[in-house]
Amino acid sequence: MIVYLCGPIRGKTDEECNGWRDIAKVAFPNALDPMRRDYRGEVRHNIHNIVTKDKEDIRKSDILLANCETPTWGTAMEIMYAQSIGVWVVSFCPKQDRSAWVIYHSVSVADDLESAIEFIEGFK
């Protein structure tokens, strides 16, 4: 099973970008992590690469694991894209912050990363 790790990058610290992804990669060693192409500070010169490579990774994935704790355009677009091509979306965020759009496009919305991982592991 291949899991794409979707979540905020722009304007985030290394810990905010990588902390939750590092935890997810323990559970899913074959995960596709867009942070391997860290374009922070160079976005304007890499727009095509960012979008095409992320979409390529999503197409290779069985599940998109979305960190929706902080809403961002990129995360929202990746969720919408994944769901539109039949890739399952499993999201996590606190109940009070759940968007109708996230709920609609996800097969599951968990309260936290650990619960989302448990849900996905149920399909291994």
Residues of the chain whose pLDDT is less than 50? none
d(CA 52, CA 11): 21
Amino acid at 113: L
**DSSP string covering 36-72:** GG--TT-GGG-HHHHHHHHHHHHHH-SEEEEE-SS--
What pLDDT score does 43 carry? 57
For 4-15, the pLDDT digits (tens) are 999 987 788 888
d(CA 18, CA 25): 10
What pLDDT score does 38 carry? 67
What pLDDT score does 124 carry? 65
- Please check whether residue 37 is in contact with residue 57, taking contact to mean a CB–CB distance below 8 angstroms: no
What pLDDT score does 49 carry? 83
Domains of the chain in start order, with CATH, are 3-121 (3.40.50.450)
What pLDDT score does 39 carry? 56
d(CA 6, CA 10): 12
For 90-106, the pLDDT digits (tens) are 999 988 878 999 999 99
Angle between helices 14-27 and 113-121 (to 10 degrees): 30
What pLDDT score does 94 carry? 86
